[in-house]
Amino acid sequence: MPLSTTLTRLLNIRVPVVQGGMQWVGVPKLAAAVSNAGGLGILTALTQPSPEALRLAIRETRKLTTYPFGVNITLLPSINPPDYAGYARVAVEEGVKIFETAGNNPKQLVQYLKSNGCIVLHKCTTIRHAKSAARMGADVLSIDGFECAGHPGEEDIGGIVLLARAAQELDVPYIASGGFADGRGLAAALALGAAGVNMGTRFMCTVESPIHQAIKEKIVASTEADTVHIFRTLHNTARVFKNKISTKVVEIERRPGGAKFEDVRDLVSGVRGRVVYENGDPDYGIWTAGIVMGLIKDIPTCEELLSAIERDAEEIIDGLSKLRVQAKAKL
């Protein structure tokens, strides 16, 4: 029987797996493939240059799938912030009902989305922030452990403890994010009280992912030791792939007296990171990857990936139930 959780029932999906919003990666082809495979595909709003471009991306996605998909809107610290309200308005106008939000102070955005009857999944790295998002009206919390790609927060709490704390403290459903790639991980997350998992790096390494084949192969060849944290001294920690550029950034940060963002600005340019995905040179710029790379051994289609995750999770859960029966038999 298919897995049935709060997440699958709320989002009307078959497999309790969400494709995380990823800059330059969360495009129509991938989002639709994930949704068609039974999970929840996510378009990344800020990958599109404008709200109207997002409108077109939503329409393109609808041509590729009849299943639910969502839109990610990440609030970034910026002197000249993107038109977040415009992205949200366009998505609502296009009938999108599921949103993944992330970043600081999402209250205004969450309230707008909830006032329009939308379901909001908000990403958090601490229980404190998760509780705050729940008070704002978030329907599901995506709990990011220290293993995650991107920004893990500054408290360095691993997923096992963070998810168990979520079970103790949260009154709304939550999903596990950071370090998940297979059915074993999904089964573990469910055991820790989560209603599903959020996967980013794993979906980067699929047939439908828009990134260069050489980067996908680099992910397969890498291990859990091939990431590094940058911006630690700037209190904006980010886990990225360990390459020549990220290693240089860490060296600059460790100089006597520390570093300012201006000292590394050119090295960490988002434009350079995008080119990595386009030209396949893993050393050209900074690009996000999680330690879950150590678990990734192939480049399947999204259908193959989610079918395997669903099957393996069910088998593991069934196997665990048999352990209890055997224990009774021995008594």
Q: What is the predicted pLDDT for the residue at 80?
A: 85
Q: What is the predicted pLDDT for the residue at 79?
A: 74
Any idea what DSSP says for residue 116? Answer: T
The answer to pTM > 0.75 is yes
Q: What is the predicted pLDDT for the residue at 78?
A: 77
Q: What is the predicted pLDDT for the residue at 289?
A: 97
Q: What is the predicted pLDDT for the residue at 325?
A: 63
Are 243 and 64 spatial neighbours (Cβ–Cβ below 8 Å)?
no
CA distance 176 to 141: 9
Cβ count within 10 A of residue 103: 15
Q: Tell me which amino acid residue 115 is.
A: S
**Phi-psi category of residue 100: left, alpha or beta, with phi > 0 → left and psi -120 to 50 → alpha:** beta
Q: Where are the alpha helices (DSSP H) in the chain?
A: 6-11, 28-36, 51-64, 84-93, 107-115, 127-136, 159-169, 183-191, 201-204, 213-221, 244-253, 261-264, 270-279, 302-330
Q: Tell me which amino acid residue 5 is.
A: T
Q: Does domain 6-212 have CATH number 3.20.20.70?
A: yes
Tokens of 99: 């949103």
Q: What is the predicted pLDDT for the residue at 205?
A: 98
Over its C-alpha atoms, the chain yields an Rg (Å, rounded) of 19
User: How crowded is the C-beta side of 69, counted as CA atoms within 13 Å?
Assistant: 33
* Per-residue pLDDT tens digits of the chain, which is 331 residues long: 689 999 999 999 999 999 999 999 999 999 999 999 999 999 999 999 999 999 999 999 999 999 999 999 999 877 789 999 999 999 999 999 999 999 988 999 999 999 999 999 999 999 999 999 999 999 999 999 999 999 999 999 999 999 999 999 999 999 999 999 999 999 999 999 999 999 999 999 999 999 999 999 999 999 999 999 999 999 999 999 999 999 999 999 999 988 999 999 999 998 999 999 999 999 999 999 999 999 999 999 999 999 999 999 999 999 998 887 655 555 5
Any idea what DSSP says for residue 74? Answer: E
Are 147 and 224 spatial neighbours (Cβ–Cβ below 8 Å)?
no
CA distance 275 to 198: 25
Residue ranges of the domains in the chain? Answer: 6-212, 227-288
Q: What is the predicted pLDDT for the residue at 300?
A: 98
> Taking the chain, what is the end-to-end CA distance rounded to the nearest angstrom?
30
Are 166 and 143 spatial neighbours (Cβ–Cβ below 8 Å)?
yes
Evaluate the CA torsion angle 32, 35, 39, 43 in order and state its sign.
Answer: positive
Give whole-number Cα distances, 47 to 96, 108, 270, in Å.
17, 21, 11
Are 273 and 24 spatial neighbours (Cβ–Cβ below 8 Å)?
yes
